[in-house]
Amino acid sequence: MTVETVGATLTTKDATAPGANLVVEWTGPDYDNDRIAISRVGNQSYESYAYTRDGSPLIVKVPDAPGDYEIMYVMGQDGHVLIRQPLSVK
């Protein structure tokens, strides 16, 4: 049996304004219901997300509240996060 590692990349700004539309270029497995999501640092719930099935780049709505967030590639089958990066909203 061969086990292959699944990876992903995210390319976007590291800071943006509240309520903005954030353009995110991504690579990844694009399985059913995979998504690019934004959440507050340390929070398990998503503030917003877009499905990878809509292609790359994606537009993801930035939360209205300023703060420290993360943008993530989330696998739809089990919620596993393949990659995350900081996003400052101010």
User: pLDDT tens digits, the chain, 90 residues: what are they?
Assistant: 776 778 999 999 999 999 999 999 999 999 999 999 999 999 989 999 999 999 999 999 999 999 999 999 999 999 999 999 999 999
Report the amino acid identity of residue 56: S
- Which residues touch 8 (CB under 8 Å, ≥6 apart)? 26, 27, 28, 29, 73, 82, 83
User: What domain count does the chain have?
Assistant: 1
pLDDT for residue 70: 98
Query: Domain for residue 1, yes or no?
Result: no
Query: Domain for residue 65, yes or no?
Result: yes
Structure letter (DSSP) for residue 63:
P
Query: Domain for residue 30, yes or no?
Result: yes
The residue written with tokens 């690579």 in the block is 27
- Please state, in angstroms and rounded to a whole number, the distance separating the CA atoms of residues 5 and 18: 35
**Domain range spanning residue 14?**
9-89
Give the CATH number, domain containing residue 34: 2.60.40.10
Strand partners of residue 48: 38
**Considering the entire predicted model, what is its pTM?**
0.92
DSSP run (H or E) holding 15: strand 15-16
pLDDT for residue 54: 98
